[in-house]
Amino acid sequence: VQLVESGGGLVQPGGSLRLSCAASGFTFSKIHMSWVRQAPGKGPEWVSTISSGGASTWYVDSVKGRFTISRDNRKNTLYLQMNSLIPEDSGLYYCARQRDFLAAREIPPRDDWGQGTQVTVSE
């Protein structure tokens, strides 16, 4: 199983970034996928989940209306479009397999995460 995130960077408040996660080694189209983030000195925070077919999505309240999760099952790729970024959005962003279909709002096990991509929102 391999999950490789990309697209992070430094952006000013109010800016946008699009994260991508290339998946391999498993049947991507049959697994819910999530984004998890971790700010320096803090524990991980679940951000969003998308169902295997893409029809259902879930978001933590702090990103609703600003972030959009999506997936392309033909390309085995997960996305997170982040708009109106604020400094509190800074952190390492991980894509993760959410194998428990009943745990859409929970942080997946650490073994199911990628290596992460850094997002820094600052002037």
Q: Are 3 and 21 in contact (CB under 8 A)?
A: yes
Tens of pLDDT along 73-105? 999 999 999 999 999 999 999 999 999 888 899
Q: What is the pLDDT of residue 101?
A: 85
d(CA 120, CA 23): 24
Band of residue 34 on the pLDDT scale cut at 50, 70, 90: very high
CA 123 and chain centroid, separation: 23
Band of residue 26 on the pLDDT scale cut at 50, 70, 90: very high
- Region 30-35 average pLDDT: 97
Tens of pLDDT along 39-57? 989 999 999 999 999 999 9
> Is the per-residue pLDDT at 116 higher than 90?
yes
Q: Are 108 and 34 in contact (CB under 8 A)?
A: yes
**Average pLDDT of the chain, as a whole number:** 97
